[in-house]
Structure 1
């Protein structure tokens, strides 16, 4: 949850140039599976979409929309997001793909990309990105 707080700060910091969307995928450490001892919540394996929606509601993500992946994990499969991953989309194309989490998850890279983008659009008409 520490990274979620840091992600929320980035969302707020760049809200004027980037929309954000958090996609909740399958639970990495379900309470009835590979349990993590430091998990803030005990979430069992999702058996239906309502389970996944219920788990996603536990995330208090202010400033960012939250969506859930389908039960066949189509977003996770398409983007290779498991466990967590950061993307920036511009004009319906992936322009930034972070490494796979948790080791490859780098908010600093996301921030750097957004800073460069902000510098490029200063003084010109702003374009909204989807993060």
Structure 2
């Protein structure tokens, strides 16, 4: 949940230049599987889409204002983006501009913040002038 709070702070800071989306995928540490000692919730392995939707609603409480999508039961989004357990992406004009490492070790909000800071600086820089002599 601490990572979710960090993500929420990031979205608040950059909401003027980016749209954010959380995609809830399969539970990495289900309460009836490989249990994590620091899990904030007891979420069993999803047996159907309704299970996944209920678990995603818990996430919504931790990320107000950020839209949330839920992966299909065949884990299509997770497979397409290599998201399991968690991953950060920036997609611009249908192109992956930033791909963070796989979590938990590769999940680095600071890297994402750095990319967004650089992007924001480019947006705020005056346009360069090109002179063409004919």
**Normalising by structure 2, what TM-score?**
0.90
The alpha carbon displacement at 1:113 in A equals 0.4
Q: Which has the higher strand share?
A: 1
4+ residue segments displaced more than 2 Å:
none
The alpha carbon displacement at 1:123 in A equals 5.4
User: How far apart, in 1, do the equivalents of 2:119 and 2:126 lie?
Assistant: 12
2:112 is aligned to 110
- CA distances 1:14-48 after superposition (whole Å, capped 9, x unpaired): 00000000000000000111111211100000000
Give the number of the structure with larger relative contact order, counting CA–CA contacts within 8 Å between residues 6 or more apart: 1
RMSD of Structure 2 on Structure 1 (CA): 1.3
1:74 is aligned to 76
Rg larger for: 2
Unaligned runs of 5+ in 1: 126-131
Q: Which has the higher helix share?
A: 2
Secondary structure of the 1:58 match is helix
User: How far apart, in 2, do the equivalents of 1:17 and 1:2 lie?
Assistant: 24
Secondary structure of the 2:3 match is helix
Unaligned runs of 5+ in 2: 128-134
User: How far apart, in 1, do the equivalents of 2:125 and 2:89 lie?
Assistant: 25
**Normalising by structure 1, what TM-score?**
0.92
1:34 is aligned to 34
